[in-house]
Amino acid sequence: MDVKLLFLLIFVNFNLAWSGKHDLYEGCSVYGLVLRDTEDLRILSNLEVDLDLDIWRRGMPGVRDAIVMTTPNNRQLFFEEIDKHGIEYYGKINDVVEVLEKHEEEVTSYKMQRNKALPFNDYPTYAQVNEYLERIASENPDIVTLVNAGPSFEERDVKYLKISTSNFTDPNKPIYFMDATIHAREWVTTPVALYSIHRLVEDLRGEERDLLDDIDWIIMPIVNPDGYEYSHTTDRLWRRTRSYRPELNATCYGVDGNRNFDVNFNTVGVSSDPCSDVYPGPEAFSEPETGYVRDILLENDRIQIYLNIHSYGNYILYGFGNATLPENVARIHQVGASMGAHIDVKKLSKANYYAVGNSNLVLYHSSGSAQDYGQMIVPFSYTLELPGYEYGFLVEPEYIEQINVETWAGIVESARMIKLFYNERLNK
């Protein structure tokens, strides 16, 4: 055999073996869309449902472009629609497989250089997150309680920490509840939850004592452990849960956890196709994982703020997804705006400023979201969309620390504000 050919064969083989994991995204590309008005947002949202278009970032007309991923299946129809409506577009990622491979290499080499005891400055696995929660709880039994909410669909424990200097018995303290990674691929959100634990328990600074003394905390770093694990082992861009209901659809797994809550369930911004990324599930709370979030909201009547952390896009959003504003919208906006402004102070110059507002008016309609469900129960409920910079969901691990630190500044600010408002309510 020709030596060159042999070499080529070995090379091809090596490449195939090595890249097999991301083959799923063969022929997928990512585009920016220049949105002109809300009509363009409507068209985009229809494509999401009709073509199963994966919207990475929704965008704001005239301000922020939408980012979408096309597949070989929907590519042609997508461009027909975009051209028909005269929407301008440009390429962002030509070959998603190549970018996924590069991302995996970066994450792997970053992990090898790092101190494994600090999972909040890394992309930890589900097991590493549990180890961290267990260690923090066992080293700080006076202020930290580890709770196992129950099993996920695939029977992974959904765990969270309760942090309190008074074991959740002081009625004068508001509770701050945050969770992360309801959408599996939004990896950068879990470190923010872990870093918050770190700052409250392991690295409490003198000027932040009030946060621990005056507020109780509930922090759930992984809402959707099955999807999270799957995004580590098999499909980096997996978004949904991993429930399997062959009687409804034998091919597709999971539902969009963030459409699965019992608030305007299955009305707008959803698809009835069980394979869609915005499939809300057969019924509200069909997923055990969203049920655990509901239980926390219902069981703790002092929760004043619920922060449902996502990536990406630099948004702080509040209810309702049907454009109706909550009664206390002025204050909700005030706390959200202050949180965003405090993060903006520390942001990288290349990052977008935070945009703050009603999720429907800023982005587009939705139903069954965690944010909306939270808003029915607690005074302040937000979707926080962390930065993606130029990487989208595939933020290089070098940026995790930056995102942790800047986001913590926003969390601190929001915690102090809701404490103040809670005092006002108590003193009325």
Ligand X SMILES: *[C@@H]1O[C@H](CO)[C@@H](O)[C@H](O)[C@H]1NC(C)=O
**So which residues are the catalytic ones?**
385
329 contributes a contact to ligand X by CB under 6 A: no
**C-alpha–C-alpha distance, residues 197 and 193, integer Å:** 7
Considering only the stretches 16-24, 111-119, 248-256, 413-421, report the one whose residues sit in contact with ligand X under the rule CB under 6 A: 248-256
Helical residues (DSSP H) of 262-356, grouped into ranges? 288-299, 329-346
**Is the Cβ of residue 29 or residue 140 nearer to ligand X in the bound state?**
140
Cβ atoms of residues 310 and 182 within 8 Å? yes
Q: What angle do CA 319, 320, 323 make, to 5 degrees?
A: 120
**Is the Cβ of residue 323 or residue 345 nearer to ligand X in the bound state?**
323
Element (H, E) at 372: helix 370-377
- Number of CB atoms found within 10 A of residue 325's CB: 16
Least distance in angstroms from the C-beta of 320 to ligand X: 4
317 contributes a contact to ligand X by CB under 6 A: no
328 contributes a contact to ligand X by CB under 6 A: no
Cβ atoms of residues 273 and 264 within 8 Å? no
> Which whole-number Å values give the CA distances from 177 to 68, 119, 302, in the listed order?
31, 21, 10
252 contributes a contact to ligand X by CB under 6 A: yes
Residues numbered 135 to 194 that lie near ligand X (CB under 6 A) are 142, 167
By CB under 6 A, name the one of 35, 263, 307, 415 that touches ligand X. 263
Residues numbered 269 to 308 that lie near ligand X (CB under 6 A) are 274-275
Least distance in angstroms from the C-beta of 343 to ligand X: 27
Q: Kindly give, in sequence order, each residue whose CB lies less than 8 Å from that of residue 46, ignoring residues fewer than 6 positions away.
A: none
**Is the Cβ of residue 73 or residue 94 nearer to ligand X in the bound state?**
73
**Is the Cβ of residue 87 or residue 325 nearer to ligand X in the bound state?**
325
# of chain residues touching ligand X (CB under 6 A): 12
Q: Helices 189-197 and 126-139 meet at what angle, rounded to 10?
A: 10
Least distance in angstroms from the C-beta of 375 to ligand X: 7
- For ligand X, the binding residues (CB under 6 A) are 142, 167, 249, 251-252, 263-264, 274-275, 320, 322, 324
